[in-house]
Amino acid sequence: MNFLKVEGNGQLSGTVKAAGAKNAMTKLLVASLLSPKKCIFYNVPNIGDVEITVNLCSEIGSKIAWDKEKGVLEIQTKEIKTSYIPQRFSGANRIPILLIGALLGRTEEDIIIPTVGGDDIGKRSVDFHVEALRKLGAVVEYREMKKEGAYLAHAHNGLSGNIIHLPFPSVGATENALLASVRAKGCTVIKNAATEPEIVDLILFLQKMGAIVSLDVDRTIRIEGTKESQEVEHTVLSDRIEAASFGMAAIATEGNVLVEGAEHLHMISFLNKLRALGGGFAVKQNGIEFFHQGPLRGGIHLETDVHPGFMTDWQQPYTVLLTQALGTSVVHETVYDNRFGYTNVLKEMGADIEPFTQCLGGKRCRYGLLNYQHSIVVKGGTPLEGKEITIPDLRAGFAYVMAALIASGNSMIEGMYFLDRGYENLVAKLQNLGAKIELVSSPNPTPEIVSAL
């Protein structure tokens, strides 16, 4: 098993390039299944979740050529060989459930999808997906099997456009409804849709493929069903989570990092909160430069939200920044019910963080009366100490690496698998920025390694 060995009191400086977005590329691969024509993607991130999705598509019948060095991937699915997704993909990530939306328009066979997984950060139900697909005429059921359950779906009578009103602007449910409606007969209207930049990237891809899709200002997406398919070339938008993560790591370590490819338009709410904290940034022609410009100021009230709000996936490294900011701050997580579990490790490292079940701050969210610990109070300005850490999920993983970089002493971090799912070449990128970090195969460093730390 691999462990990350991180030396504390580090400082990051230099230039790093943000990769293509995980949460766009994985969906674009699924969307390519709607068409028998070739699709070529550029700026493809070489990460675990893309690898899993490539394997899923190959299973279904896609022919794929992926040049990982160049970040170019060609995919073509002339025919759907099978719509039974094997159990080995069960729990891998959130992507398999989206295959229902894409495959309903491509096959009249039954579609069988094993239980979806993803990070353990809350209930992560798929009820909105199922309801949306049913609105379009699909039959979708969850069946308990011998070992594990699976979703069974079909549209033997075809799909027909309809009005879908999502109870919450769920990213995945919007994508599933969008994919299915492209091949449905007539017009579909998705109200209260998610409008994250990765969804807009998916819409751009679908339009290039032949779909007729429009996005209104009031979270309404309209799709006119079509059978048209064209070859597509598409450059994946850059990863705003990775970009912000490096930016926050630069500021936490009192360094200076230019994140090439960081897209200003997609990071507005993040940059506002960074400025409120006293973190420095300058938007450049080819990216955003992040730098320390004096002590960080607490007294922040942060509320995560759907786009254009502050992303829930920025919350964990931002909380690490708050542990170093002078003053008391409040974070209210409104997207997931259980996304503060990772703070226990930060507390063991020396942070002063208290969880609350109440909605602390401006708005009453849907978790307000449900007894979930979804708010925290952070008393900042506490030194952190390195320790042995186990990563529970992807974004918590980056927050731990960041905490380990600013801690006194050294840390050993287990769970590199999570980071590999979403951060391309993370160790090499951090080493290039001057971090003393390396992968080792033993949790107990030999005396020589200890002295080298």
Interface residues with ligand EPU (CB under 6 A)?
22-23, 26, 94, 119, 122-129, 168, 170-173, 194, 312-313, 335-336, 394-395, 422
Please answer whether residues 56 and 95 qualify as being in contact, where contact means their C-beta atoms are separated by less than 8 angstroms.
yes
Residue 162 or 315 having the CB closest to ligand EPU: 315
| Biggest CA pair distance of the chain | 69
Is residue 127 among the annotated active site residues? no
Residue 176 or 410 having the CB closest to ligand EPU: 176
| Nearest distance from C-beta of residue 116 to ligand EPU, angstroms | 9
350: left (phi over 0), alpha (psi -120 to 50) or beta: left
User: Measured at the alpha carbon of residue 257, what is the angle toward residues 14 and 249, in degrees to the nearest 5?
Assistant: 120
* CA proximity to 47, closest of 197, 241, 338, 209: 241
Q: Is 3 exposed, middle or buried (0-12, 13-18, 19+ CB in 10 A)?
A: buried
CB neighbours (10 Å) of residue 108? 12
| Nearest distance from C-beta of residue 367 to ligand EPU, angstroms | 9
| Nearest distance from C-beta of residue 135 to ligand EPU, angstroms | 13
| Nearest distance from C-beta of residue 333 to ligand EPU, angstroms | 9
Which residue in the shown chain puts its C-beta closest to ligand EPU? 172
The residue assigned the tokens 């994250």 is 196
| Nearest distance from C-beta of residue 336 to ligand EPU, angstroms | 5
Please answer whether residues 389 and 414 qualify as being in contact, where contact means their C-beta atoms are separated by less than 8 angstroms.
yes
| Nearest distance from C-beta of residue 248 to ligand EPU, angstroms | 15
Please answer whether residues 196 and 237 qualify as being in contact, where contact means their C-beta atoms are separated by less than 8 angstroms.
no
Residue 280 or 355 having the CB closest to ligand EPU: 355
Residue 125 or 157 having the CB closest to ligand EPU: 125
In DSSP terms, which residues pair with 379 in a beta bridge? 328, 352
- Rounded to whole angstroms, the Cα distance separating 214 from 127 reads 25
- Rounded to whole angstroms, the Cα distance separating 211 from 187 reads 11
Count CA within 13 A, CB hemisphere, residue 453. 23
Please answer whether residues 195 and 213 qualify as being in contact, where contact means their C-beta atoms are separated by less than 8 angstroms.
no
| Nearest distance from C-beta of residue 131 to ligand EPU, angstroms | 8
Residue 289 or 393 having the CB closest to ligand EPU: 393
| Nearest distance from C-beta of residue 156 to ligand EPU, angstroms | 24
Catalytic residue among 49, 67, 119, 393: 119
Residue 281 or 310 having the CB closest to ligand EPU: 310
Residue 38 or 124 having the CB closest to ligand EPU: 124
Q: Which two tokens stand for residue 249?
A: 């790591």
Residue 361 or 434 having the CB closest to ligand EPU: 361
- Active-site positions read 119
